[in-house]
A and B are shown apart, each in its own frame.
Chain A
Amino acid sequence: MAEYGRDCRAQPFMTSGHGSAQASAVLTAEGIGKRFGSGATAVTAIDEVTLSVKQGELISVIGPSGCGKSTLFNIIGGLITDYEGEVRIDGRRVSGCHPDIGMVFQEESTFPWRTALENVEFPLEVRGLPAAERRQRAQQFLGLVGLTEFADRYPGELSGGMKARTAIARTLAAHPKILLMDEPFGALDEQTRLLLGDRLSQIHRELGQTTLLITHSITEAVHLSDRVVVMSYRPGRIKRVVDVDLPRPRSSEIIESEQFGHLVASIWHDLREEASRGLAADEASRRSS
C-alpha cells in the first residue's frame, strides 16, 4: 500500500485508543456472507468478503451489477443485520446502525419538504443539538460541498448534482468516523461525476475521513481511491485488490495520464469477465421466464 502525500492537518473526528492488533484498520469486514431466500431458489449475494480500511484511506468497491455491492454497503452500514461474518470498527464488533458510520445512499435521498440547510440539520436534530449550533454546523457543511448560496432552496429547485452534494453534506454533518457511500453520483452524467469527484477528493483531503465507496465506474474508482477492490459476479467475492499508486492531491485531469490508463485497463481486464457473466446470466433468466 503506497503512502501518499495526503494533507493530514485536519482529522478532527478521530477518537483515540483503539486496539493494537488492528491499530491502523478503522473498519474491518471479516468473512461477510449473505444469502437471500431459501431452498432451491436461494441466492448467495456475497460470500467470504474480507476487507479492511485504514484510517483516512479511501477504498472503492467495484463490480458488475448483481455482485452484491449494495448488500455489502447495507451490511457494513448496519441496515442488514442478519448475515455471516463480522463488521468491526476499531477492532470492536458492531451490529446495527452505528454513529461512527455515515451512509450516503444511491437513490435520491434528500427530504423534499426540507430546504438544503434543513436537510443537513436532520441528523443534528435527531441528536438533539440546540437550534443555533445545528444551523451553524449545517451551514459549515453546506459550504464544504459548495452550496452556501442554495441553503434555502428546496430539493425540487436543485439539480441532481446539488441534491447529491446536499445528501453528502448531511451525512458529513453527523461527524461519522467512516464514510460509506453507495454510488453517490450514480444518477448523474459522466462529466458531472468527474467534477463532483474532484470535490469529493478535496473534501476527503480536508476531513481525512476513512471512506468506503461503492461504484460501478472504473474511472471514478481509480480517480478517487487509494485501493480498488474488484468483485466477482454472483456470488460476490473479492477477485482482486488493486493499489492505486497515483500521486495526490489528484484532480480529474489525472485521467489523461498514462498510468491512469494502465490502471483502468487492468481493472477492466478483471471486470470484463465478471460483467460478461452477469450479462449472460441476466439474459438467460429473461429467456427462461
Chain B
Amino acid sequence: MSRAAYLRLATLLLVWAAWEALARSGLVFQGVVPSSLTVLASAASELGSSNFYPHLWRSAEEIGVGFAIGSAAGVGLGTLMGVAVFLGRMAHPYIHVLAPTPKIIFLPVLMILFGVDIGSKIAMGAISAFFPVVVATYDSVRLVPPVLLRVARSFRASRWQTVVKVYFPSMLPAVVTGMRLGLGVAIIGTLLAEIKLSNRGLGFLAIQRYEGFHIPDLYAVLLIIFVLAVAANIAIGRVADRLQRRHVISRRTPSR
C-alpha cells in the first residue's frame, strides 16, 4: 500500500473513532449521534428484512431506466448538435443555460406530466442524467481530430461509416466521463424525488425513518445508499478506464 493509501485509511479510522467517542461521551443526545455499532446493526437488520428489497429494486429501476433514457437522449442530441453545425449553434446556449440549473425545480411539472408514481421519478433521473451527457457529447464531437475525418473522407467513407468508425470511438472516453457524472446526478435526482413525494424507494425509506425518528435506521439507510452509489461509480469508472487506456496507452516504449 502507498503512503497516501495508509493516510486515507488512517483518516477514516480517525473519523470513525471520533464519531464513536462523541456517541459514547453523552455530550449529545444518543438519538442524534448513535453509536456506529448501533448503525451497523440497523443496517444488517434492514438488509436482512424482506421489506427492504422492494424499495431497493424500485430505486434501482427508477435510476436505471431514467439514466438509460437520459444518456441515450444526451448522446443522440449531442452528436447531432456536433455534426449538424447549424443545429449546434442554435441549441448550444439553451443547453449551457439549463445544464447548471438544479433539476429538482422541474419536479412539480414532472409530477403533473408523468404522475406522482414511478413516472415522475424516472423522468427526474432522465432529465438529471441528460445534461452532463449532452454537454460532454457535444464537446467531444468537436474534439475529434480533423485529420482523422480527412482520412475517412479520403477513403470515401460514407457519412454513416464516418460517424460509427471515427466519431463514436473518438468521442467514447469523453462521453463515458459525461455518463459517469450523469449517473451521479441521476441518483441524486431520483432520490430527491422519492423524498419529496412517494411511497416506495430508498429515498422514501430514509424519509420514513426520519419521520418516525428512528435515527439509527435513518443512518443505516443512508449508509446503504452511500455504499451503493460508490459501487455504481466504481463500476462505471472501471469501464471508463478501460476505454481510456486504449486511447492513451502510456508512452511505454515498445519492447524489442
Give CA–CA (A122, B151) in the complex, Å.
10
Q: What residues of B have a CB within 8 angstroms of the CB of A103 in the complex?
A: 150-151, 154
User: How many pairs of residues, A versus B, come closer than 8 Å at their CB atoms?
Assistant: 70
Q: What residues of A have a CB within 8 angstroms of the CB of B85 in the complex?
A: none
Q: What residues of B have a CB within 8 angstroms of the CB of A154 in the complex?
A: 246, 249
Chain A, range 79-98, C-beta contacts under 8 Å to B: 79, 97
A244 CB, min distance to chain B CBs, angstroms: 28
Q: What residues of A have a CB within 8 angstroms of the CB of B254 in the complex?
A: 150, 153, 157-159, 162
Main secondary structure of the interface of A (DSSP, over half): loop
- Whether A122 contacts B247 in the complex (CB less than 8 A), given A79-B154, A107-B147, A109-B151, comes out as no
Q: What residues of B have a CB within 8 angstroms of the CB of A79 in the complex?
A: 150, 153-154
Chain A, range 238-264, C-beta contacts under 8 Å to B: none
- The answer to whether B170 touches A113, judged by C-beta atoms less than 8 angstroms apart, is yes
- The answer to whether A111 touches B166, judged by C-beta atoms less than 8 angstroms apart, is yes
Count of chain A residues near B, Cβ 8 A: 30
Chain B, range 220-256, C-beta contacts under 8 Å to A: 246-254
26 contacts between A and B (CB under 8 A): A79-B153, A79-B154, A97-B154, A99-B156, A107-B145, A109-B147, A109-B148, A111-B148, A111-B151, A111-B169, A113-B247, A114-B169, A122-B155, A122-B165, A125-B161, A125-B165, A126-B156, A126-B158, A126-B165, A150-B254, A156-B247, A156-B251, A157-B252, A159-B253, A170-B151, A174-B155
Closest 7 CB pairs of A and B: A156-B249, A103-B154, A107-B147, A123-B155, A113-B169, A126-B157, A154-B249
Residues of A within 8 A of B (CB): 77-79, 97, 99, 101-103, 105, 107-109, 111-114, 122-123, 125-126, 150, 153-154, 156-159, 162, 170, 174
